[in-house]
Amino acid sequence: MHAIKIESADFASPAVQALVAENLADLSARYGGGTGDDTPLTAADFTPPNGAFLVAISDGRLIASAGWRRHGGDAELKRMFTVAAARGRGVARRMLAAVEQSAREAGCKRVILETGNRQPEAIALYESAGYERIEDFGFYAGHVGVLSYAKAL
């Protein structure tokens, strides 16, 4: 893998939507059936000042994504994903740091997120990056296996 560049992207663009589809397929495989994540999202959620959507690019290909949208004074992390071929190389950690910086610059006080108990890699990343468990919130609040986290910015 060559140099990795992280930049803002249009959530509605075909290339981003193809990566999001891969993310949802991964979630569907982990949790069984469905679309993987039924949380209502629109491109406007990731358009400043409402939020931002970032991608990592290597050799002209999108290899990771992460976005945030406003949730009160917080930034809610959504669509954090790294393609299988790029995992284990620190890409997700770089993406998480870029989201945190973007949210901080937009005046958010913390990043919050929902993940699931069948995503051990994500849980390990968030906990090692200083995220702590909080009361469940959002679309999947109260669902079995949901884990919610937050980190002050």
Domain architecture of the chain: domains with CATH = 4-108 (3.40.630.30)
Q: Specify the higher pLDDT residue, 18 or 139.
A: 18
pLDDT for 1: 52
Q: Mean pLDDT over residues 40-45, rounded?
A: 93
pLDDT digits (tens, 9 = 90+) for 47-99: 999 999 999 999 999 999 999 999 999 999 999 999 999 999 999 999 999 99
pLDDT for 38: 72
Helices (H) and strands (E) in the chain, counts: 3, 7
The closest alpha carbon to 98, from 121, 114, 120, 82, belongs to 82
pLDDT digits (tens, 9 = 90+) for 88-145: 999 999 999 999 999 999 999 999 999 989 999 999 999 999 999 999 998 888 888 8
Separation of CA 60 from chain center: 21
